[in-house]
Structure 1
Amino acid sequence: MSLLVVGLSHRSAPVSILERAALAADTQAKLLQDTLAAEPAAEGTVLATCNRIELYADVDKFHAGVAELSTLLAQHSGVGLDELTPYLYVHYEDRAVHHLFSVACGLDSMVVGEGQILGQIKDALALGQELHTAGRLLNDLFQQALRVGKRAHSETGIDRAGQSLVTFGLEQLADDTDVDTWAKGKKALVIGAGSMSSLAAATLARSGVSEIVVANRTLARAERLAQILNEPGGTGVAAHAVEMVAVGDELTRADVVVSCTGATGLVLTGEDIETAVQGRRAPLALLDLAMPRDIDAAAHRIPGVRLVDIESLAEASADAPMAADVDQVRGIVSDEVAAFGAAQRAAHITPTVVALRTMAADVVASEVARLEGRLPGLDDKQRAEITQTVRRVVDKLLHAPTVRVKQLASEPGGAGYADALRTLFDLDPETVAAVSRADLNDADVKNRGRV
């Protein structure tokens, strides 16, 4: 295993750099294709969220891999390599596994314990599978990361250590007031109809707002979200959809605005917001969850306007509570990293063991054929008994060393046992490689249906 991750996040880079480095969906696909075209990488996938961009790859050379992945991130993000490099972090092998498992559990999130990252990890794996850039290593890694994240949320109180980004943002807007009390009766405008915007709309509805207007560039998506909010047995909120051109008018009526779109420019400018608040008495609360930002940072300076964005959320969430739950999750991550490493090391030697047993079977077949030539008078029963006896002898001789070598290979530093086994028995490298290719093809077919 030669897993390498190169990336940047809210922990390593300022919001201004993260905004500029944000990757559109088509850019992510091109980045993965170029990663596999690069010499050091055999597999690759990208985890891109509003506050992190990470490129995962299976590489055969560490230093060359770091240089190539860093260059690719710079090229596709549009941020110069010299400017980007100080904000990049690098994790290799077990440290890379530990990093992804921590991310999956919400330990590395802006709001500790948030669960939305699991969906984003699932999307990252699906993209790698769709483009055939994720092979056995990354399939295994990301599938296990999803399981580890779910385990952390089901076995610990990490959910209490930090709410979703939406809930946390609304709490910041409400300041010292209970969110349900603060939101009750307010009119809300939700800009965007993706997963984060849908979560925001649902959270606002549960908090007691009286009306939700959904605006989106594709009106049909906004209408679908509004329909879900209006379903019988729901929260009772009145919801309807509008086109993006109506946002200016809706802004004058709204008490709270949540925006999370994929736009590359501002959705609400300072001028838009100043116009909307002219002559009104009620304050306007703005929550910007987009990266790059949707709402002009100049809104901070407009009287009667309170803006909470990714940058202010990062500052407010610096002192995460409930250390006991965090420590418990860290323990789970450490255990799972050790188990994953052992499984990968054991799997690495399996093709060699299979090749050894295949060679032994060929030797048995050859010797039985030679014996038949020297003893042509054997009947079928005698021939079968001799064949079975020879096979049992070979199986017994190979059983203990093959079981033991798998155990040894699963331990730290056990990667060299496969090489030793190949050398001792003079195994054909092509035979071992053929077994590996067959395993990889089987795993690829199986894993494509698991996301």
Structure 2
Amino acid sequence: MSVLAVGVSHRTAPVALLERVSVSGDALVKLLHDVHRDACVAEALVVSTCNRVEVYADVDRFHGAVTAVTDMLSRHSGIPVEALAPHLYVHYEERAVHHLFSVASGLDSMVVGEGQILGQVRQALRLAQDQDTLGPTLNELAQHALRVGKRVHSDTGIDRAGASLVGVGLTLAERVLGPIAGRRALVVGAGSMSALSAATLARAGVSDIVIANRTYERGVRLAETVGGRAVALDDLTAELAAADIVISCTGAGNLVVTADMVAPRSDRPVFLLDLALPHDVDPAVRAVPGVTLVDLESMQDSGLGQDGEDGDGGRAAAIAAARRIVVEEVGGYLEAVRAARVTPTVIALRTKASEVMEAELGRLMSRVPEMDGRTREEVTQTIRRVVDKLLHEPTVRVKQLAASSSGDHYAEALRELFNLDPQVPEAIRRTSEIPGDAGIPGDTDGGNPR
């Protein structure tokens, strides 16, 4: 089996198309299961954010799986395949691993270095675990991606060099309003992005933060964390009239702020930041006097947060260091995977050697029944040491060779040379995937490196 990634993101598609492809809630669960049920797919994981929808799958047929996943994305989005396909990217095996590690590190984000994506990959992993669409391959890959993302952020400071989407939005807000400290802000929604928005506003010195949410109690909990207040969604129109900055990110799937809810501003402009996909705010509000609306598409066009956009040497150095870490981690991960593939064959060889040794010892003892116990023990230990020494070098060497891209050929050669039953390594591999399994007796040369 091999890892396949098929996706669409802000790098390959306009926001209008991303908005149609975006999936969440029940639709996300259905897409996950539809992919997992395909005959070419053994495991499935879907990463869906405001900037990307990516399907990761452990597959046995590349072309069949690509076609199947493309068809599913087309069906779920309602976009014909011929219109969707030009915006899709496909990564396979090593490139798929590199892409996921880059995504988790924030290197592929609209705002390079933002930290939200790490939590979003974690949510995708948890959903796939809860829905039972993961196996050992994607589970370990996603876990490793999270570790890479954490390492990149802790070792390079890329999250400090790269602002979040909210931070970039507030930079644009200051261009319209001037300094935002002391302003009044309205946050629509109470999810993770809303929490980030509220916290960012508070750090920026916004004095009055109002949380409007469909579930009032959740709004109250979020408001308490930033010293703000909560209102019911029914009060949204009145709060819009009083706010200087509005950030909306509900994920409702339909318009939450319409043009008739936003009053013209003759003396005091208002800045609206729509971080939802599909849109929360009706684009028609741009026609209302005194109103500035920035959404994901206009943020994408602004160029803020992209590689080298400001010529900041520290930022460029952090990004370069992050990329080096990703390359290093990809190499280490692939070496471990390749070594793990040969481990069942090594265990099968040692198991066969042990069975042959025990059989021959049994025959020897039956032919020399007068041998005393101490002598029996010495003979047994001597033969076991001889077998271990004979097997040590080839088994260590084959594990080292297995780390290369042609590692599977060495395991195959070992099976051929020692006439190992090809079904035995596969049975050992399946057994080693059982959580909590202690392994196969006789593997004295180390276990699965993964």
Alpha-carbon distance in 1 for matches of 2:303, 2:126 = 30
Gaps of 5+ in 1: 231-238, 446-451
The CA RMSD over aligned residues, in Å, is 1.8
**Residue correspondence of structure 1 range 22-421 to structure 2 within 5 A:** 22-175=22-175, 182-230=179-227, 239-273=228-262, 276-277=263-264, 280-317=266-303, 319-321=306-308, 322-421=315-414
Q: More deviation in 319-328 or 341-350?
A: 319-328
Task: Give the aligned length.
Answer: 431
Rounded to whole Å, the distance in 2 between the matches of 1:199 and 1:410 is 42
Structure 1 ranges of 4+ moved more than 6 A:
none
- Asked whether the 8 Å contact 1:12–1:87 carries over to 2, the reply is yes
Q: CA deviation at 1:100?
A: 0.8
Alpha-carbon distance in structure 1 between the residues aligned to 2:352 and 2:75: 48
**What are the superposed Cα offsets for residues 205-248 of structure 1, whole Å, 9 maximum, x if unpaired?**
12112211111111111111112223xxxxxxxx1111111111
Q: CA deviation at 1:256?
A: 0.8
The structural deviation recorded for 1:4 is 0.4
Q: TM-score, normalised by structure 2?
A: 0.92
Amino acid at match of 1:300: R
Structure 2 CA distance for partners of 1:444 and 1:129, relative to 1, 3 Å: farther
SS in 2 for 1:57: strand
1:347, CA displacement in angstroms?
A: 0.8
Match for residue 235 of structure 1?
Answer: none
Give 1:176 shift.
7.9
1:151 alignment partner AA: R
Task: Give the Cα–Cα distance (whole angstroms) in 1 for the partners of residues 106 and 330 of structure 2.
Answer: 16
Relative to structure 1, the CA distance from residue 406 to residue 359 in structure 2 (aligned partners, 3 Å threshold; closer, same or farther) is same
Shift of residue 160, structure 1, vs aligned partner: 4.1
- Aligned equivalents of 1:421, 1:217: Cα separation in 2: 63
Offset of residue 430 of structure 1? 2.5
1:31-53 Cα offsets, whole Å, 9 max, x none, are 22222221111111110101100
For 1:368 and 1:288, locate their aligned partners in 2 and report how far apart those are by CA, in whole Å: 77
Deviates more, 1:383-392 or 1:344-353: 383-392
Q: Distance in 2 between matches of 1:426 and 1:302?
A: 79
Deviations 1:328-371 (A, max 9, x none): 21111111111111111011111111111111111111111121
One-letter amino acid of the counterpart of residue 419, structure 2: D
Q: Give the gaps of 5 or more residues in structure 2.
A: 309-314, 439-450
Secondary structure, in 3 states, of the residue corresponding to 1:290? coil
| Whole-angstrom CA distance in 2 between matches of 1:396 and 1:42 | 39
Deviation at 1:316, TM superposition (A): 1.6
Could you tell me how far apart the structure 2 residues matched to 1:108 and 1:72 are?
A: 24
1:164 to partner: Cα distance: 0.7
For residue 20 of structure 1, what is the aligned residue in structure 2? 20
Q: Is the 8 A contact 2:250 2:276 kept in 1?
A: yes
2:433 counterpart SS class = helix
Query: Is the 2:176–2:271 contact (alpha carbons within 8 Å) kept by the matching residues of 1?
Result: no
1:287, distance to aligned residue in structure 2 (A): 0.5
Identity of aligned residues (%): 54
- CA shift at 1:443, angstroms? 7.3
Q: Which residue of 2 aligns with 1:448?
A: none
The question of whether the paired residues in 2 share the 8 Å contact of 1:19 and 1:291 is answered with: yes
Paired with 1:313 and 1:424, the residues of 2 have a C-alpha distance of 61
Residues 431 and 437 in structure 2, CA contact (< 8 A), matched pair in contact too: no
Normalising by the residue count of structure 1, what TM-score does the alignment of the two structures yield? 0.92
User: Deviation per CA, 1:100-125, whole angstroms, max 9, x where unpaired?
Assistant: 11111111100011011000111111
- Offset, 1:84: 1.4
Letter matched to residue 294 of structure 1: D
> Structure 1 residue 323: deviation in Å?
2.5
Report if the CA contact (8 A) 1:173-1:307 is conserved: no
- 2:8 paired with 1:8: yes
